[in-house]
Amino acid sequence: MRGGFVAEVGLYMQEVVESFKILVVEDEADIRQVLCFFLRQSGYDVLDVAGGQEAIRVIPEYCPHLIILDLMMHPMSGWDVLQWLHTMYQYPLPPVIIMTALVHFSDQKRGFEEGAVEYITKPAQPNKVVERVRMLLSLTAEQRLLRQKKRIEDQQKTLERLCAAQADEFVY
């Protein structure tokens, strides 16, 4: 009897995961393909696009539950997509995970301020990205907002410490 219950719970969880739609916006084909493979293997419905212009074209129709967004794309960057989401998209906004090679704390802080709930630097292990997706989709919108605000505060404190340390270096 217990085995049947476990099987039913497992089947239910697979159905829940399958209902989540993930949009991957990444201009590097190899990264996009690997990430999409891992997400699909985890049961997510995944749509991938190679740039910001494609993203804003498909978002209203696809209605993703979560967006994984590269920042450095041309001609329309991930920053542009974030701004478009805030000005043109119907609320509630889907959570956004930024996945980029930009490693500066100021970029991370800006990403959180512009609405991202996670910031992952490349190269990233695909299984870790899937873990973050799973975790974020398990949170309520309020929990994601609190997490985002905390991340902004943490980045601000780190920037202040770095600036203070640099100022100390210039004292003769």
Q: What are the tens digits of pLDDT across the range 88-133?
A: 876 778 999 999 998 888 898 889 888 888 999 999 999 999 999 9
Q: Residue 77 in contact with residue 51, Cβ under 8 Å? A: no
Backbone torsions φ then ψ of 28, nearest 5 degrees: -90, 110
The CATH code of domain 19-169 reads 3.40.50.2300
Q: What are the tens digits of pLDDT across the range 12-60?
A: 444 444 579 999 999 999 999 999 999 999 999 999 999 999 999 999 9
**Entry pTM:** 0.77
User: Angle, nearest 10°, between helix axes 126-138 and 29-41?
Assistant: 50
